[in-house]
Amino acid sequence: MAAPKRKPTRRTAARRTRTSAGAAGRRAPRSSSLVAPRKLSSGLPERVFAQASPHSVGGTSMFDAAGVISQETAINFASEDDMVLGAASRLQSAGFEVLNVSRLTINIAGPPRLYEDVFGTRLEAQERPVIKGGAQEDTATFVESLDTEMP
């Protein structure tokens, strides 16, 4: 039998009310907790994030789509559950960290050398201009596979 729940004391209730109602307006804005990733001597980050597109029911990878993918055509780029789970399992067995799995893509991460070994490619870091939060102009590191025409 579960113990009965205790009612909050007046002090606890008052503290909660004061914190939730009054502190929001007085709180200083938080600074970004994002830290630039550590880079290898090649300029590549130690950990590279990517999207993998399993073989779809329509037979075309969403990365090879000729036009805009719309609500009506998105289903053509989805994959069967068994295909997605099998691909995610093989990626994980190869050493990738599988971060998220959907019927459209599998989000993975791993060191650059793992991508190069598993996919037989060479990666290169490229610094490109970007607009970051607060409309600040800056640069960001983009990782490119030199064996593909995809940007």
20-69 pLDDT per residue, tens? 344 444 454 455 556 767 888 788 999 999 999 888 888 877 777 778 88
Which among 106, 136, 115 is positioned nearest to 45, based on CA atoms?
A: 115
Can you read off the two tokens belonging to residue 136?
A: 């600040």
Can you read off the two tokens belonging to residue 13?
A: 């209730």
* DSSP structural state of residue 47: S
Distance CA 57, CA 45 (A): 34
Per-chain mean pLDDT for the chain:
80
Per 3-state DSSP, the chain is made up of helix, strand and coil in percentages (nearest 5) of 30, 25, 45
Whole-prediction pTM = 0.68
Distance CA 1, CA 21 (A): 36
Look at residue 135 and give its three-state secondary structure. helix
Residue 130 has pLDDT above 50, yes or no: yes
Neighbours of 93 (CB within 10 A): 8
Q: In the chain, count of helices (H) and strands (E)?
A: 3, 5
Which among 116, 125, 105 is positioned nearest to 65, based on CA atoms?
A: 105
Confidence at residue 32, expressed as pLDDT on a 0 to 100 scale: 54
Cα distances (Å, whole numbers) of residue 77 to 80, 90, 105: 10, 20, 9
Stretch among 26-35, 107-116, 129-138 having the lowest mean pLDDT: 26-35
